[in-house]
Amino acid sequence: MAKALRANATEAERKLWALLRGKKMARFRFRRQQPIGPYIVDFFCPAAKLVVELDGGQHGEDARVAYDAARTRWLENRGYRVLRFSNAEFLKDRNMALDGIARAIGHDPVPLPEPPSAVRPSLRGRVG
C-alpha cells in the first residue's frame, strides 16, 4: 500500500519530498509514505519522531476529521509529534511549512528563495 501511495503522490507531496529527501532538512533523514502501526504517514523523520501530514480537500469532511483526530491521538500516545498542513497551505507558502518542520526538529529555519516568476517584466521603454 505504501508503495502505491508513493507512486500516486499529490503535487504538494512531490514538492515537499523534493525539499526533504537526501537529508536536505538539517541533515535529518525523512521517509515518505511510511507505515507506523496501523497507519501510513505521509512523511516521517525517525530521529525526531516527527510525522508530517499533507491533507487534501477530503480532510475537511466530518468523517475524515474524526479519523484524522483518532490517528493523531494514536501517534501522539506513542511519542510521535504530528504536524499537519493542507495541500493548499503548502503550495501557497512552502516556507511556512518548512519553518514548522525545522522548528519541530530543533533547527533554525532558513527560508527558501521564491521560485522565479513565469512572467518576466517588460523591459520596453526602459533607458539603461
- In 3D, which of 95, 72, 94 has the Cα closest to residue 83? 72
| Within a domain: 66 | yes
pLDDT computed for residue 116 by the predictor: 56
CATH of the domain at 94: 3.40.960.10
State how far the Cα of 126 lies from the Cα of 128, in Å rounded to an integer.
6
pLDDT computed for residue 29 by the predictor: 95
C-alpha cell at 59: 480532510
| Within a domain: 121 | no
Which tens digit of pLDDT belongs to each residue from 78-99?
999 999 999 999 999 999 999 9
Regions of the chain short of the pLDDT cut 50: 59
pLDDT computed for residue 58 by the predictor: 61
| Within a domain: 111 | no
pLDDT computed for residue 113 by the predictor: 56
Which structural domain range is residue 47 located in?
2-104
pLDDT computed for residue 83 by the predictor: 97
Domains identified in the chain, total number: 1
What type of residue is 111? P
Q: CA triplet 116, 120, 123: central angle to 5 degrees?
A: 140
